[in-house]
Amino acid sequence: MNKKRLLEIQTRKAEILEELPNATIERCAELNAEADELNKEEACLRAKTSLEDKLGAVVPPADSGAEERAKTFMQSRRGQFQTRSLLLSGGKIAQPTEVGGINGLYETQVSSLIDLIKVSDCTGMGAYRVAYQKDGIAAAGAKTEGTAPAEADVTKMFDYVDLTPTMYSTLAYVSKDIRRQSPLDYESKVVSAVRDALRKKASAIAVTNILGSALNQSVDVTAIDKDTLETIVLGYGGDEGIEGAAYLFLNKKDLLAFGAVKGKNEYLPVYTIVPDTLNPNTGTIKVNNGLSCRYCLNKNIKALTGTTASASAATKTMFYGNPQTAEMALFGDTTIEDNDGYKFAEGLITILGETSADIGVTTWHGFSVVNLPKSGS
C-alpha cells in the first residue's frame, strides 16, 4: 500500500504544480500547506518502505495502470515541474556570481598631443586654407631728403597652408550574447575603445605632419646630456625672445634618458622629472639650475636614444614648441554607430567609428625639431 500511496502523492503534487500558475494568493497558501503535508507523508512512507524492504516484508503490487499514468503525466510536465520546484524552494539552485564593473586599462592609451593642438570646426568645407606670416619688414632706414625710402615686398611676408579632409575609420564587432548573458556593459567599453582608436590615429597623423612641415626650425642633438634641454629650449623662437607656452614632445625612452643624466659627482641627477598627477602623459622636466619645460609623451615620435645615425639624411626625433601653432581641422562630427543587421547571421553587433580630419603646422617656426645629424656630418 505504501508504494501505491507514494504514486498518489506524486500525482497530487503534479496536479498542484499544474494549478499553481493560475492560483490566487489565498489558493497558493492553501496549496503550499498541502504540499508541506504531502512532503511529510511522502518522507514517512519512504522510510516505512525502506524498512519493509530490509525486513523482507511482502508489499502488495501497486496498480500498474496508476503508476503508468503518473509516469506519463510527470514526463509531460517535466519542464514545468523543474521550473516550479525552483520557485517553491524559495530561490535559484545556484546564485550567480556577483560582479562589479569592468576594470579599464590602467595605462594611458592616447597622447595628449591632440588635446593640446588647436582644433577648428570645418564642417561642410571641402578644404581649409590657413594664412600665416613668415617674415616682417626690415628695420626702417634713415630718411634722406630727395630720396625714396627702401621698398618692402610684402608679398613675400605671407603664405598659406591647405588642410584637406581625409576619412579615417575603425570597425569592431561585439557578440549579441554579451547583451543577453552578461550584466556588465562590455559594449560601452568597446565603444570607448573605438573612440580611442580614432584618437590614436589622429595622434599619429599629428606627429607625421608636424615633423614633415616646412614651417619648422631645427636643432641638431647627437645625444641627451646635461646641456640638451638648454639647447632645445633656449634655441626656440626668434632672436628677440624665448617663446613660452611650449612643450617638449618626445618618446618615453628619451624621457628616461633625461632622468638618467648624472652630474659631476655621478650621484645627483641633472634633471628632475615630475609627471602631472591627473595626467601621467604630461609633466615637467626641471634642470637643477632652474630651467624647466613642460613635456608630453608620444610613442609615434622616434626616440633619439638608441637610434643610429643615418648615412643619407638627418633623423627627426623629438620636437619642441607651442602646440597651438599646429591645427586640426575637423570636417564634420566624429561618429560612432552600432548596427546589428550587417552581421546578423553571425550574431554580431557592428560598431563603426569615423572621422574626417587633417592636421598641420599653421604658424611660421611653430616648432623646433630635434635632428640626429647624419653620420659623417
Q: What are the cell numbers at 43? A: 518522507
| 123 belongs to a structural domain | yes
| 100 belongs to a structural domain | no
* Alpha carbon distances (Å) from 348 to 135, 178, 338, 344, 352: 57, 10, 10, 6, 13
C-alpha to C-alpha distance for 216 and 151, rounded to whole angstroms: 28
Strands 367-372 and 217-220: parallel
Note the pLDDT tens digit of each residue in 260-284. Answer: 999 877 678 999 999 999 899 999 9
| 94 belongs to a structural domain | no
Same-domain check for residues 15 and 76: yes
Domain end marker among 38, 72, 88: 88
Strands 335-343 and 348-361: antiparallel
For residue 363, the domain's CATH number is 3.30.2400.10
User: Which residues of the chain carry a pLDDT beneath 70?
Assistant: 1-3, 50-102, 104-107, 139-143, 146, 148-150, 181-184, 266
3-state SS, residue 254: helix
Same-domain check for residues 45 and 191: no
Provide the CB-side half-sphere exposure for 78 (13 A, CA). Answer: 4
Range(s) of the domain holding residue 21? 2-88
What pLDDT does 99 receive?
A: 54
- Spatial CB neighbours of 216, under 8 Å, sequence gap ≥ 6: 210, 319, 321, 361, 365, 366, 367, 368, 369
Q: Which helix (H) or strand (E) holds 79?
A: helix 78-88
Same-domain check for residues 84 and 120: no
What pLDDT does 142 receive?
A: 67
| 248 belongs to a structural domain | yes
3-state SS, residue 160: strand
| 99 belongs to a structural domain | no
| 95 belongs to a structural domain | no
Same-domain check for residues 348 and 240: yes
